[in-house]
Amino acid sequence: MTNADAVSFSLAVPPLFGALAPARNVLVAGAGGGFDVYAGLPLALALWEGGTRVHLASLSFSQLELVDRAAWMTEQVVAVRPDTESPDWYFPERALARWLAAHDLPPTVYAFPPLGVQTLRDGYRHLVEHLDIDAVVLVDGGTDILLCGDESDLGTPVEDITSVAAVAGLDVPVKLVTSLGFGIDAHDGVNHVQVLENLAALDRDGGYLGALSIPGAGREAVLYRDAVAAAQAATPDRPSIVQGQIAAATAGEFGDVRFTHRTSGGALFVNPLMAVYFTVDLDTLAARCLYLDRIEHTIGRRQVITRIQAFRDELATARIPRAFPH
């Protein structure tokens, strides 16, 4: 039975929150690395407001090896707090920890270095046991986490699929994946008609928990935009293009919205769909991935990269990309 099977589907109770209702300790983790954990902040804020204990985690692109060893819980997990020292100027997890502390919210962000499936699972398993986690929500800024392998382009799948595979092997009552930022991955070649096709297939399999829009004037959106602005100030040379677009979408902006010089080379298409959570059951999603077995026994990130590439090289035919018909 999937996590979704236990959810009572209703217009009155969004299935995302219905699935998490029994949980006492929820781990909201950025699946794709870097600033992805910020995409989980509106969800975490809503859960905190409802009395649920929430912990945040991130697959980090920072140079965690520069962090003092006292902050390392295991070889796979660093507990990043507002006062965690590192000479690395790119440190989204610390920027978020400092923002959380400034808003009297739990100020620890757990960070994983880039790993393979087996080692990342060890890190997750430690957190699940240490924090008594009974629900894990992987959050992707974008939609390439929803791809199964035979699409015309996979975007940037390495961290996303490593996270999915790692958590799929955990014994946790509730495991979900939610994506925020529909359309953003078009820049990386993702065909979003194929994303919708995958969501329809997941729905047929009983693994789609629906779409949920973040109200732009609500507390969660207001605080999320503030957190993104603080992150942009902390990393002015490399602000998150993904989170910047999502934040703009929650504010009702539309079209080619400019917030960083990093997007000067092309046109953006900020729109309301970027402010919608699309949620699926993690185990159902994992079962649809055509190459999950190939990366299962990986130890390092490089192994994941080469095995995904080998799968794509051997793929007889990829699905033909389609344009939106209207």
- Give every CB contact of residue 223 below 8 A, 6+ residues apart in sequence: 41, 42, 45, 103
DSSP state of 181: -
* Dihedral class, residue 61 (left if φ above 0, else alpha if ψ from -120 to 50, else beta): alpha
What CA–CA distance (Å, rounded) separates 116 from 121? 8
Q: Please tell me the predicted confidence (pLDDT) of residue 3.
A: 62
In percent, how much of the chain has pLDDT > 90?
A: 91
pLDDT digit string (tens) for 25-71?
999 999 998 999 999 999 999 999 999 999 999 999 999 999 999 99
Residue 280 confidence (pLDDT) above 50: yes
The pLDDT value given to residue 5:
60
Residue by residue, DSSP assigns 197-265 as HHHHHHHHTT-EEEEEE--TTSHHHHHHHHHHHHHHHH-TTS--HHHHHHHHHHTT--BS----GGGTT
pLDDT at 1 over 60: no
Identify the CA nearest to 71 among candidates 301, 62, 238: 62
Work out the average pLDDT over 120-139.
98
In whole angstroms, give the CA distance from residue 6 to residue 279. 15
pTM listed for this prediction: 0.96
Amino acid occupying residue 283: D
Q: What is the pLDDT of residue 258?
A: 82
Name the residue among 108, 67, 72 with its Cα closest to residue 85: 67
Alpha carbon 211 to its chain centroid, in Å, reads 15
The mean pLDDT value for 139-163 works out to 98
Q: Is the pLDDT of residue 22 over 80?
A: yes
Q: What tens digit of pLDDT does each residue of 201-258 get?
A: 999 999 999 999 999 999 999 999 999 999 999 999 889 999 999 999 999 999 999 8
| Confidence band of 325 (pLDDT split at 50, 70, 90) | confident
The answer, yes or no, to whether residue 10 has pLDDT greater than 90, is: no
**Per-residue model confidence (pLDDT) at position 163:** 98
1 vs 99 pLDDT, higher one:
99
* pLDDT exceeds 90 at position 153: yes
The answer to whether 92 and 231 have CB atoms below 8 angstroms apart is yes
pLDDT digits (tens, 9 = 90+) for 265-276: 678 999 999 999
pLDDT of residue 266: 72
- Predicted confidence (pLDDT) at residue 264 exceeds the cutoff of 70: no
**Using one digit for the tens of pLDDT, what is the confidence trace for 158-207?**
999 999 999 999 999 999 999 999 999 999 999 999 999 999 999 999 99
Average pLDDT over residues 70-92: 97
Residues 302-323 have pLDDT tens digits of: 999 999 999 999 999 999 999 9
pLDDT band for position 9 (50/70/90)? Answer: confident
